[in-house]
Amino acid sequence: MKGRAKRVKGSSRFTVLLVLLVGAFLVIAGRLTYLQAAAAPQFAERATDQRLRNIEIPPQRGAIYDREGEPLAVTTEACTVYAVPQSIDDPVGTSAAIASVLGTDPGEYVERLGTDSSFTYIARKLDMDHAAALKALDLHGVEFQEDSRRVYPSGELACQVLGFVGIDDEGLAGLEKQYEGLLAGTPGSLLAERDPFGRVIPDGVMQSIDAIDGQDIVLTIDKDIQYQAQVELSAAVEEWGAKSGSVLVMNPQNGEIYAMATVPGFNPNSFGSAEPYSYRNRPVTDVYEPGSTMKSLTAAAVIEEGLYGPEDMFELPSTITVADRTISESHSRPTVNWSLADIVINSSNVGSVMLGLELGEQRLYDYLDLFGMNDRTGVDYPGEGLGYLPPLEKWSGSTIGTIPFGQGISMTQLQLARALSAIANGGELPTPHFLRDLPETDDASLVWTLERVISEETARTTSSILERVVTTGTGGSASVPGYEVAGKTGTAQKARTDGQAGYAKDKYVASFSGYLPVADPQVLIIVSLDEPSNAIYGGTVAAPTFSSLAQFSVSHLKIPPTTSVDSAVETDLVVGSTDDGSVPTADADAEGR
């Protein structure tokens, strides 16, 4: 009996052990079944994610050319250098070697290379010479990837117009930003198997989708005129001790912009080291009170309405009072009898106020609205500013006395250029623009609208008056031998920026705006100097720069002379006029001497 009990007890142990073994095998089998069947896709995906790397292939950014095919912005070969810190045994030594080639501080890399990560950038968009020098060191764990970089071959040339791109080749400013959709292209991708250290496994799975390069664009900018504009403007800013300056050169017939510049500028190849204020393309983005340049628009409105002709006479007192504002000339004078033309030629504030009063508030407002003072120009450039024409319900009693000569209203330089173009070209507002052609797009239709605002007769009549501003009036320094020039001086006092009403003492914007040849204008130029300190009058400060740039432009564009050079007559300039200093509405317009 006892022996049998022992055998039964041993059998029980065997049974338990067998059950445990079978149970363990069932668990293992179940786990294997789960891993190989139910969970297989999940683990396969995780394994794939660990092995595969999806690398973006950047497209080549489209080039930017001037109107004659000269490159202004191009993309060149470059190399991005990165490291796999996990595979670097000597972070300090590797950092020192990298720094010796790149001319940087080794400490910049030591911490990054000493981590357990699988990726860190060393240098992005490195030039090929430095990349080759690094490759020659054969540093373990340092890898290289083909890349590209944006280069501006002419440095500061047209810097504010072109703008710049960021480290990822995305347009951040200027036309690089405006035409990002055309220039950028579409990235491709490369799917490849890599080991834990980031190295491509030979014959590993690889799938490639080609990048689509960006389109090239051709601008209306003329590289030579742009260069000359920057040279002339820089010289004027220095000569007259100005805070800054701006210039634009445009075809008034169709709105093509030949040049646009602001001083100070910057080098877009190293834009990060420049002051951000130098990025601003001020003729497009910044507004100012135009001063006496507005008198040409006031005169055009009076002529268009048929109120007066150029030779109709006015008795002009020495001052004129409108509501609570007494307005006088820049230099005291007795009562005179001047024609409408004389009012513009001599830049008379009193006469311009009388013209404005004849128009009345509604008609003056309507004509300035027609000339585009309430609208952006439609230029193909980001961040266009918009001037301010007070709505009629906000006019005070004296507003009708200040707006006719350019105070209490603001505009961008480009808004003014567009309005003057309508006088130059026979009465139509053009759309200023930078894009001239898309050479890779056969069916591209670039249409820039024209909008009629005054009659051809009014435009011709007003042009003849503006021509006399240069031959006998305040703009004599703007003359160009061999060509009839029309234009207008402006010397506008700047509004205060301290929160107080009125105008800042001794702070002016001096300008000259004009075009040539008068019979068939092909070049319109506006020159503005902000806060000149050595002189303030537009005829003195800005007109000579206009003359020099205009001479270069007509010669470069091969526009034939319209008069004999020998017939150019130097005339005594007539002293202009402005408000008196007793009230904060002083437009100290052009002496011209």
pLDDT-based confidence at 49, cuts 50/70/90? low
| 207, amino acid identity | Q
Q: How many CB atoms lie within 10 A of CB 165?
A: 24
Alpha helices of 138-265 — where are they, by DSSP H? 159-162, 174-178, 180-183, 223-239
Closest CA to 479 of 572, 349, 342: 572
pLDDT at position 588 is 42
Domain range enclosing 62? 54-219
User: Which residues does the annotation mark as catalytic?
Assistant: 292
* 53/207 Cα distance (integer angstroms): 11
Does residue 455 have a pLDDT over 80?
A: yes
pLDDT at position 570 is 42
Q: What is the pLDDT of residues 545-559, one digit of tens each?
A: 999 999 999 999 999
Would 14 be classed as within a structural domain?
A: no
Would 241 be classed as within a structural domain?
A: yes
pLDDT at position 197 is 55
Does residue 386 have a pLDDT over 50?
A: yes
Q: What is the pLDDT of residues 322-358, one digit of tens each?
A: 999 999 887 788 999 999 999 999 999 999 999 999 9
506, two tokens: 């001794």
Would 12 be classed as within a structural domain?
A: no
Distance of CA 345 to the CA centre of its chain: 34
pLDDT at position 553 is 98
| Same domain flag for 279 and 342 | yes
pLDDT at position 248 is 98
Closest CA to 409 of 383, 377, 382, 372: 372
Q: Which CATH number does the domain housing residue 93 bear?
A: 3.90.1310.10
Would 45 be classed as within a structural domain?
A: no
| Same domain flag for 152 and 257 | no
Q: What is the pLDDT of residues 491-528, one digit of tens each?
A: 888 887 777 777 888 899 999 999 999 999 999 999 99
| Same domain flag for 188 and 288 | no
Would 374 be classed as within a structural domain?
A: yes
pLDDT at position 161 is 98
Residue ending a domain, among 172, 196, 219, is 219
Would 579 be classed as within a structural domain?
A: no
Q: Which one is predicted more confidently, 591 or 252?
A: 252
| Same domain flag for 299 and 165 | no
Cis, bond preceding 390 (omega within 30 deg of 0): no
| Same domain flag for 197 and 320 | no
pLDDT-based confidence at 26, cuts 50/70/90? confident
Model pTM score: 0.84
pLDDT-based confidence at 593, cuts 50/70/90? very low
Residue ending a domain, among 196, 219, 242, is 219
Would 363 be classed as within a structural domain?
A: yes
Q: What are the φ and ψ backbone dihedral angles of 167, each rounded to 5 degrees? A: -65, -25
Domains contained in the chain, number: 2
Residue ending a domain, among 179, 204, 219, is 219
| Same domain flag for 193 and 245 | no
Q: Which CATH number does the domain housing residue 419 bear?
A: 3.40.710.10
pLDDT at position 38 is 65
Beta strand spans in 385-468 (E) = 411-412, 428-430, 435-437, 450-452
The residue whose two tokens read 């506006």 is 526
| Same domain flag for 230 and 368 | yes
pLDDT at position 404 is 95
Exposure class string for 56-95: b at 16+ Cβ within 10 A, else e: eebbbbbbbbbbeeeebbbbeebbbbbbbbebbeebeebb
* 33/491 Cα distance (integer angstroms): 89
* 264/32 Cα distance (integer angstroms): 73
| Same domain flag for 233 and 211 | no
pLDDT at position 28 is 77
| Same domain flag for 67 and 107 | yes
Does residue 409 have a pLDDT over 50?
A: yes
Mean of all residue pLDDT scores within the chain: 87
Which CA distances in Å does 154 have to 15, 57, 90? 91, 28, 42
Average pLDDT over residues 212-239: 97
| 133, amino acid identity | A
